[in-house]
């Protein structure tokens, strides 16, 4: 940390959607010096070429090989899956004061065999998984500054865990049959989304996909078990929307005997009473992703249905902010004991 109590950071993977949002927010953070912006292409270009919102004069884009690691406190890695683990493995023991926040899936899955099954490749740094912490700050009860690798959760899993983990822990909802229906803007698939999604009328239609084998299923499964000590049975169906950003998850649950929608709402209000970014709406409130776009907020609405015991819990986040870059900055603030909202809105 510098004399001005600022930390020196690098962003590796600067020109993707999450990288650009991350840099934009970091450029306004009072406690951050951005020392390096790295990419494999567009070397020498200004980051403002890719995002006109970024007004601050920042370092030009360089290759990661040009980094002077000795001057850095923290590295953000906003890379495709399977890439961050290689960089962290190479530098973890060489530079023992550096911490890493990884926005990919590389350290989200604690079992390397499950990682291999879902991401179709061997984990290149499985010995470092034990040095990592999966962290949604509002749900993370461990000391974040005891870990050097912070695994930033996936966007869908973030929108799902925040509303239901407190309710499962209080035994208010059944864990036998939870239906999760999540819809995301196409930025969640990265800049190459047109190669991943080849269905007709991409920009004017809704598309359901990967109902059985979506990669986030193993992440949700792992974290629900870890945080509730219960095996939760759920189905998860993701949908792509013809919008750039935003997620709305609809979670259908059966309540326990004597439990009402209002009791669920009161429990979430109680659990998140000190959580700045979690907004619990009035009972049966209509909800969309519009209110949370470009913010680190998660809005939650508990709604009754025509079936007495069936409740739908809606959860809205911005997939690029609370689902990615904003949560990464929130984790950074927790590591360095900065106010949790610094650099965020």
What are the residue numbers of the active site? 155
Residue 42, CA distances (Å) to 37, 50, 210, 260 in order? 11, 10, 33, 55
Q: Which residues pair with 248 in a beta bridge?
A: 183, 316
How far apart CA 164 and CA 313 sit, in angstroms, is: 8
Q: What angle do CA 333, 300, 172 make, to 5 degrees?
A: 105
How far apart CA 298 and CA 51 sit, in angstroms, is: 25
How far apart CA 37 and CA 24 sit, in angstroms, is: 12
Cβ atoms of 203 and 242 closer than 8 Å: yes
Q: Identify which of 272, 271, 268, 328 has the alpha carbon closest to the alpha carbon of residue 296.
A: 328
Cβ atoms of 345 and 321 closer than 8 Å: no
For 200, residues 6+ apart whose C-beta sits below 8 A from its C-beta are none
How far apart CA 56 and CA 69 sit, in angstroms, is: 23
Rounded to 5 degrees, what are φ and ψ at 304?
-75, 155
Specify the pairing of strand 149-151 against strand 278-280: unpaired
Question: Using CA atoms in the order 257, 261, 262, 263, what is the torsion angle rounded to 10 degrees?
Answer: 40
Cβ atoms of 227 and 165 closer than 8 Å: yes
């Amino acid at each position: 940390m510098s004399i001005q109590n600022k930390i020196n950071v690098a962003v590796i993977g600067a020109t993707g959607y999450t990288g650009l949002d991350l840099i934009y927010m970091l450029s306004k953070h009072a406690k951050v010096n951005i020392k390096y912006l790295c990419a494999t292409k567009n070397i020498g270009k200004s980051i403002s070429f890719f995002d006109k919102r970024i007004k601050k004069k920042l370092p030009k884009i360089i290759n990661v090989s040009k980094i002077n690691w000795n001057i850095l406190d923290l590295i953000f890695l906003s890379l495709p899956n399977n890439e961050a683990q290689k960089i962290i493995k190479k530098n973890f023991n060489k530079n023992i004061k550096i911490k890493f926040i990884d926005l990919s899936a590389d350290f989200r899955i604690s079992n390397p065999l499950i990682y291999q099954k879902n991401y179709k490749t061997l984990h290149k740094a499985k010995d470092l998984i034990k040095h990592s912490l999966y962290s949604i700050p509002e749900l993370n009860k461990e000391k974040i500054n005891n870990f050097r690798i912070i695994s930033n959760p996936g966007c869908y899993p973030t929108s799902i865990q925040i509303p239901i983990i407190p309710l499962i822990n209080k035994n208010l909802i059944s864990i036998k049959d939870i239906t999760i229906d999540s819809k995301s803007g196409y930025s969640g698939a990265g800049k190459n989304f047109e190669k991943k999604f080849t269905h007709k009328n991409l920009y004017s239609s809704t598309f359901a996909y990967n109902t059985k084998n979506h990669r986030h299923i193993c992440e949700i499964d792992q974290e629900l078990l870890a945080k509730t000590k219960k095996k939760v049975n759920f189905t998860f169906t993701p949908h792509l929307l013809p919008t750039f950003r935003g997620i709305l998850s609809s979670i259908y649950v059966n309540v326990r005997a004597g439990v009402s929608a209002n009791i669920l709402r009161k429990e979430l209000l109680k659990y998140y009473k000190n959580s700045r970014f979690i907004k619990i709406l009035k009972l049966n409130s209509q909800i969309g992703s519009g209110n949370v776009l470009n913010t680190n907020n998660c809005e939650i609405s508990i709604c009754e249905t025509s079936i007495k015991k069936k409740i739908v819990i809606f959860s809205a986040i911005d997939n690029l902010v609370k689902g990615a870059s904003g949560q990464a900055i929130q984790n950074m603030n927790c590591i360095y004991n900065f106010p949790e909202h610094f650099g965020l809105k």
